[in-house]
Amino acid sequence: MWMEVISLDEKEDFAELRNMHGCTRSFSVENINRMKEAKPDCHFYKYKSDNIELAIGFLLKKDYYWISAYTLKAEAEDYPEALRLMAEKKKEFVSDRKVKKMVMSFGYEDEAQLNLYNKGVGKLGVVKVIELAKPEYLKAGINISFNPKQIVFELI
């Protein structure tokens, strides 16, 4: 079940999951607190089941939500389910908001760098993850477009 990350313990767990299975740069409770202070519409969520752990953050920019954390911890065979859960959470998050667009940016254009950048995505490779994600996101009513610097998700 998804839960919003609010308490100090939840923030610490979120940061640890992201650092171990998400982006390679260091993430901390202080990062979460700074983002939440900077933008009132900034939220972090964590999901945990027996075989899947997920983390996602949304930070409102001018005309889109920046995906400020995107973490998958699962075995390869569980990625379709993990991606379905991520799609449903994104849809739930934006469905009652004015802004319906979400952007996940990368610091690299090179696919090999992208695969190193996010450990959970790199497990299968960003191209394979997007290939698996597209049908799950379309079922949830979200369109995905991809270029070497970002993925754009828009509620259909």
CATH number, position 65: 3.40.630
Number of domains in the chain: 1
Instruction: Provide the pLDDT for residue 107.
Output: 62
Closest CA to 83 of 114, 119, 56, 112: 56
Q: Is 121 exposed, middle or buried (0-12, 13-18, 19+ CB in 10 A)?
A: buried
List the one residue out of 104, 33, 108 whose CA is nearest residue 69. Answer: 104
Query: Which structural domain, as residue segments, surrounds residue 102?
Result: 2-155
pLDDT at 126: 82
Predicted local distance difference test score (pLDDT) of residue 109: 65
Tens digits of residue pLDDT in 45-104: 999 999 999 999 999 999 999 998 889 999 999 999 999 999 999 999 999 999 999 998
